[in-house]
Structure 1
Amino acid sequence: MSQTNLPLSGARLWDSLMEMAKIGGTPKGGCNRQTLTDVDAEGRALFRKWGEAVGLTLSVDRLGNMIFRREGKNPSLPPVALGSHLDTQPTGGKYDGVLGVLAGLEIMRALHEAGAETEAALLLINWTNEEGSRFSPPMMGSGAAMGVFTEAEVLAKTAFDGAVFGEELRRIGWQGAADPDDLQKVGHYLELHIEQGKLLEDGGFDVGVVTHALGQTWFEVVVEGEEAHGGSPMAGRRDALMAAAPLMAAVEEIALGTVSPTGEPGRGTVGVVDIYPASRNIAPSRVFFTIDMRHGDPECLAAMEARLKARAAELALVRGVTITVTNFWHSPNTPFDPVLIQRARDGATARGLKWRDIPTGIGHDAVYMARKVPTVMVFCPCHGGLSHNEAESITPEWATAGLQVLADAALATAGLVKP
């Protein structure tokens, strides 16, 4: 038996995607299965049922990361892990993260059905709080496992509604006893994900082989001025919003204007805005907002940060307000493993799939894993590059192609044994 004739079922994968999407399903066809909510617990329970049905052994660590294990023939070899996440954005889609988890499950199902073995054990991981929507920053489960965050600081994180991460984890019944640090002993890690961009679809590619992750920096900005009646003269006002607005607009200007020697521009996003006192006839005295900046060139990313802070200082002076720009989170440019990259390329080529190398501008659990463990990602196209949106969509054919390349690379790494 080889990877190419393992009974992988794209139809079974698709059915599982549709079944999981019912949990937290939204009227517009997406998913709202935010981390550590009741529907997250329900999705986890279904995943546990599916994994145990094919003989996998489940452990759960103290951060709620779910780790299924399928033993290999050679216990001296470090395990090969597959994974992604089941949590979604409030208006998320059916595929972001979920595709990678359930594709890994389909590989386990196919191995079980064929009675096949691997030399190294296989792990299948559902990471806690990849999205970072309810509790920020993102990718907490994988980040803490790889030593980026401490376990204590993750458990103490607070949501905007006051919920505490550790308390919610215990409330939904998914705090385990395993040590998250044990995942640093993994030998290799592979993750399938939708692209969340248009390069693959526009180029007619079946899959993308991810070579590296762009660097990204998140900021929190507070603009403080003075409240004023809407009918008062505008001269001399210290309106926090009128200072915040041009700084928000500058985020796009800075991103598009910071171009690397290869011609790549940056990316910039303002995602959260809070205005005080939020009254129709009062000029605001305080504005809080978030900024997300990304670039494939570390020097360009640093230049974007410098331009942002210089613009903030300029606006504060002109407008008579105080602007505080705080660095909230940073993830550096991260290369993936060249051996695993080549295995993914070889699998795609052997199957006659059209593929290309591609970077990821988006953070994934694989990015944190790559700091400690040889890692690769495989992308499948998504329509219009749309993601973090209820209208997010892919085709069964794209899902199947991604599954096949993931399986070939993973089983070549774990050592598929002929029965």
Structure 2
Amino acid sequence: MNALESLRISLRNIREHKLRSALTTLGVIIGVAAVITFVTLGASLQADIVQTVAGGNAATLYVSAQSEGNTGLPDLGGGGETVFTEHDVNGIRSLRGVEAAVPQSGIAASTVEYDNSTVSRQWVTVTSPSYFDVRNQEFVAGGAFQSGQREVVLNRPAAQMFAAGNVSVGDTITITRAANGEPLNATVVGIVEPTEQSALGIQEGPQPEIYAPTDPFYQRTVFSPSANENQRVYGRILVLAKSTQQVDAVQGRVYTYLGEQSDARQLKRRGYTFKVTTQDELVAQVRQVSNTFTAYITGIALISLVVGSIGIANIMLVSVTERTREIGIMKAVGAQNSDVLQLFLLEAVLLGVFGSTVGALVGLGGGYVAAQLIGLPLAVRFEWLGIAVVVGLVVGALAGLYPAWDASRTDPIDALRYE
């Protein structure tokens, strides 16, 4: 019996038992659909968070002192120890290949008031005027603040968060420090576009952000061993290389400076190390975490494929029993054991391929719906569609191997007498 004849007979048997065939492939459909859905969703999550992380200047480096046990996603919000003095900022700024180096820390505000309208619990980022150039943030009105002045910059959500109305350039807001309750009046000199906030790619939406100069808003100091005086101390330094080609060289020079000349090397606690992270490294870390998350969820979904393969094996064994007389007739007219084996194995493979193909399409639709509901850009890994079909073929072959082997060993005389 040639392969085309086996294919014709297998397709005929599948058509004659439409409902049973559909239920048999349902397990495979669910398994493959779950895998494709989670892979598509994982790819969309990864694309979204990579876009968020890498959306700034590719020549930017993030300098921090973090615990050696911190191996998760990089903290882009100024986390880590507060150990970098003004001496360190100036030292890094003077390194060859560095275009700019700006400090960044924050102060907690118990309230922010505008025109008798109060918003509680806000975080104020304190930095230098060149921060907005380093972060490549776009001003929609006004410009950067000046050091030494009671001026602030708001992003668009922060300008719109007051019940009294939108804040405009030239308006005055009052920031009350959470630490000592001191109110500070500040003039709004600029409005910038917001940066997207995300956690594992799930958009939280643009958050209100307030930016202020370190002088006069930030007073945290520490004794600088190099300058032999008290200086402001920060939790992070943003470094802008003069070009993307110089990023690696600048990263090496910053590491050397931190380890040999900085105040931070003496101020940081034991167990903390310096991190000078580039955009490429941030993206690589994000992808690693995202791939691990996707692999874990996909592994759970693969359980459905195991259940589906058991269903195919069970139905094929039932089919062998139902077609015992047919097997006997086939052998009586000259069919070989290999022909019977081929026939039943091909039928199992077809069920697996049908199930995986339908499951891949359903999973693709499920991934699209999930991405739309969460608000993510759709990212499809088309290679997984091909993998799904191959998996269906393998599942069908493995599930149908024993039933096909059992059918091929049927004694034709016993088969012809079977009722």
Please, what TM-score do these two structures have when normalized by structure 2? 0.19
Higher percent of residues as helix = 2
Q: Which has the higher contact order (CA 8 A, sep 6+)?
A: 2
Max Rg structure: 2
Q: TM-score scaled by structure 1?
A: 0.19
